[in-house]
Amino acid sequence: MSQFSSIALPQIGSFALLLALGLAGYSFVVGALALIIGGPGSERLGETARRAGIAAFGTILLASVVLVTAAFTDDFSVAYIFHHSNKDLPGPYKFAVLWSGQEGSLLFWSLLLAAYGFVLRLRYKTDPGLFAYASVVIAGVQVFFLLLLNIAAHPFAILEGQIPPDGSGLNPLLQYPEMVIHPPMLYLGYVGFTVPFAFALGALIMRYPGEKWIQITRRWTMVTWGFLTIGIFLGAHWAYSVLGWGGYWGWDPVENASLMPWLMGTAFLHSVMMQEKRGMLKTWNMWLVFSTFWLAILGTFLTRSGIISSVHAFAQSSIGSWFGWFLIITLATFAGFYVANRSHLRSEHKLESIISRESSFLFNNLLFVVACFVVLWGTWFPKISELIQGSKVTVGAPFYNNVAVPVALFLLVLTAVGPLLAWRRTSFESLKRNFMWPAAGALALGVVMMILGVRPWKDISYFYSLMAAMLAALVICTVISEFVRGGRVIAQKTPGLGLLGSMVHLYHRNTRRYGGYIVHFGVAVVIIGILGTPFNREAEKEMGFGDKINIGPYTLVCQSYTQDDNPNFSNEWAIINVFKGNDQITTMYPERRLYKASSQPQTIPRIYPTYSQDLFLVNDLYVVYEGRNEETGRPIIKAHLNPMVPWIWTGLIIMIFGTVTALVPNAAPIAARVPARVQTAPAVGAGD
């Protein structure tokens, strides 16, 4: 480390953060002032506010680059670098130091928000008025995070006393390749929901005429939702691959914190279509988008304050009260503007029938909100019980599963049914026409599963698995039927294109709708992956040379066990040969590490998906090196056989493919006929 970097880096970083606060503050205050004043002359003021917001991005980027540089140059004079890095930490993890601790991750939050704000402010010509309001809202949120960084959680705080020769090292749980991408994805999701919220609040304040703001924010919302989805699934995969308990979701408060905004965001993505198409649910959508943003902030608060015990809660700190006040202020601000301008949000149409696309969206939304409330209640219950009774009562997985599983099944029903219903009302004849084949497909699968030995009356979990499989099949059948029906229409118009080519053409004509169907397909595949859970098996044994564990159709044979050492960690592992019948199918190397800088142990499970043996009914063979018997020196090996889990990750890939394809602009629409009764019709009373 050069003398320059040890002196200059923290100072430059600190100054950049202070300057960023000044610029964001200017953007917020002067931007708001320009909007309040209005009229000629205020445009130049507003323009300087917009530019200050852009400049703030530059300075926050500088601060972030400085922090990463400090990590790469092992500048342990910076307390944050000392606590979260060490000299022998591999390069990618040194980059990940930026979001590995509280101060760094708040800086990262701020950087992402500034980046979103940067793009938004560059694209202001789309609708300068609305963008000016959104820019001010984003600047307001930015000011909060920069105040935190400058006062309560300074990433460039200098270590007191002599500079230590090496750092304390990164938390071993975070030294895993997915940890380099999981937090950025999650944060891109969390932070990104600020953008639709900013547009919604802006539209509410200015009583924006029409629903154009929803079209403007649609891509922002979908991109954000996509990032949050990837982040949640990568987190689940990380938990599965690193924590060594054989599961991927434990209803941990921090997992819940990411799930809550996802549930509300998903509800918003659906209900917003009713506002676009029919001018309905305006108030509901406004509160949904606010709740999504608010829950994202609450999630950051949960992760960062240490207020609720979790494997992910990184620190006990004073920033909890900052977040508490920010949550109160945002709620009060939004509620205030809502009360003042609620007359602007009157619905243009009423629900005409209980069997309609609108009602399916409505029920879908209610289920998402119920699920979110249950997760919120369960997450906060330990704190609430502590406040009331004086002792913490924690709710476990059964509490969540009792509600989440039935809600998920109902949501699957709606996922299957919704696309087949007509807007306004659906007749019985129409229902019969659309549901016969998908329902027959789902029933056939149920019958096959029962013939294969699934007995739903023996255990509630088997019942749920059967139902989930049938409903997932129903979703898949409806998606296929939508593509095939649409493809046939195109094929009739353009002979020679073929059904497959027609379906591709169909998707290009309405990427949002058919991309959405692909997402539904992915969700069904994820559900198929989850429904294997009741059939999980496990076995544990101390294994000497040649010892065996039998699990399902597989036999695990211990070939050897050994240990090794490198500058970052020492480790011991076993070599396990896996057989199916008499055929050896693979060799696995479950491992246990001891990281030197932090003196913390870490289990590295090994996972083998049995695609080549089982194809559709694929299992995960999951082997953990639990430790060593000190008396015999032999390793204790735990094996799990987790059916269908690989489908969860496959489902995620399909969901992301669907989301990305839904973002592609539509091919040019075909011109519609103009109604003939233009001159005689009465006026419409909607809008401002």
Partner 1 sequence: MTVFLICALVTLGSLVYTFYIPGEIYTGPVKTRLIYLRERKEAVYDNLRDLNFEYKAGKFPDADYQEMKTSLEDEAAAILAEIARLEQAAAIAASSLRDRKGARV
The site for partner 1 (CB under 8 A) is made up of: 4, 7-8, 11-12, 15-16, 19, 23, 26, 43-44, 46-48, 51-52, 54-55, 58-59, 62, 124-125, 127-129, 208-212, 276-277, 279, 420, 422-424, 426-427, 429-430, 433-434, 485-486, 488-489, 510, 669-670, 672-675, 677-684, 686-688
The angle subtended at Cα 392 by Cα 401 and Cα 366, nearest 5°, is 35
Q: What's the closest the beta carbon of residue 15 comes to partner 1, in angstroms? A: 5
Q: Residue 78 has what DSSP assignment?
A: B
In angstroms, give the least distance from the CB of 66 to partner 1: 10
Q: How far is the CB of 154 from partner 1 (least distance, A)?
A: 17
Select 22 or 306, whichever has its Cβ closest to partner 1. 22
Beta-bridge partner residues of 594:
570, 601
Nearest CB to partner 1, comparing residues 428 and 457: 428
Minimal distance in Å, beta carbon 267 to partner 1? 21
CB of residue 352 to partner 1, shortest distance in Å: 9
CA separation for the pair 421, 398 (Å, rounded):
34
- Shortest approach of partner 1 to residue 24 CB, angstroms? 11
> Based on CB atoms, which residue is closest to partner 1, 458 or 673?
673
Between CA 104 and CA 99 the distance in angstroms is 5
Q: Least distance (Å) from partner 1 to the CB of residue 477?
A: 15
Q: At what angle do helices 3-37 and 42-72 cross, to 10 degrees?
A: 160
Distance of CA 603 to the CA centre of its chain: 26
Give me 244's structure tokens. 């060594």
Give the whole-angstrom CA distance, residue 283 versus residue 342: 7
Q: What values do phi and psi take at 623, rounded to 5?
A: -120, 130
User: What residues are paired with 574 via a beta bridge?
Assistant: 561
- Counting Cα atoms < 13 Å in the Cβ hemisphere of 9 gives 28
Cβ closer to partner 1: 127 or 255? Answer: 127
Q: Name which of 489 and 500 has its Cβ closer to partner 1.
A: 489
Residue 645 C-beta: closest distance to partner 1, Å? 36
**Closer residue to partner 1 in complex, CB, 142/379:** 142
Pick the closer one to partner 1 by CB: 429 or 631: 429
Cβ closest to partner 1, residue 455 vs residue 485: 485
What lies within 8 Å, CB to CB, of 226 at 6+ separation is 189, 656, 659, 660
Long-range contacts of 348-355 (CB under 8 A, 24+ apart): 348/278, 348/279, 348/280, 348/686, 348/687, 349/278, 349/279, 349/280, 350/280, 351/280, 352/424, 352/425, 353/424, 353/425, 353/426, 355/421, 355/425, 355/426, 355/431
State the Cα angle at 75 between 601 and 571, rounded to 5°: 20
Q: Smallest distance, Å, CB 523 to partner 1?
A: 22
Q: Which CB atom, from 132 or from 469, has the smaller least distance to partner 1?
A: 132
**CA distances for 145 relative to 112, 154, 283, 600, angstroms:** 11, 11, 28, 32
The smaller minimum CB distance to partner 1, of residues 350 and 458, is found at 350
Residue closer to partner 1, measured from CB, 348 or 626: 348
How far apart are CB 210 and partner 1 at their closest, in Å? Answer: 4
**Of 17 and 96, which has the nearer Cβ to partner 1?**
17
DSSP of 623-664? EEEEEE-TTT-PEEEEEEEEETHHHHHHHHHHHHHHHHHHHS
Which is closer to partner 1, CB of 239 or CB of 272? Answer: 272
Report the SS3 class of residue 554. strand
DSSP 472-507: HHHHHHHHHHHHHHHHHHHHHHSTTSHHHHHHHHHH
| Residues 565 and 556: beta-carbon distance below 8 Å | no
**Pair of tokens at residue 128:** 């300068």
Shortest Cβ 162–partner 1 spacing (Å): 22
CB of 137 to partner 1, least distance (A): 19
What minimum distance in Å lies between the beta carbon of 515 and partner 1?
15
Q: Which amino acid is it at 546?
A: G
Say how far residue 421 (Cα) sits from the centre of its chain: 29
Q: How far is the CB of 211 from partner 1 (least distance, A)?
A: 7
Is 458 or 677 the residue whose CB approaches partner 1 more closely?
Answer: 677
Least spacing, CB of residue 213 vs partner 1, in Å: 10
Asked whether the CA dihedral 444, 408, 621, 635 is positive or negative, the reply is: negative
CA distance 193 to 204: 17
Q: Is the dihedral of CA 211, 213, 219, 223 positive or negative?
A: negative
- Closer CB to partner 1, 209 or 553, in the complex: 209
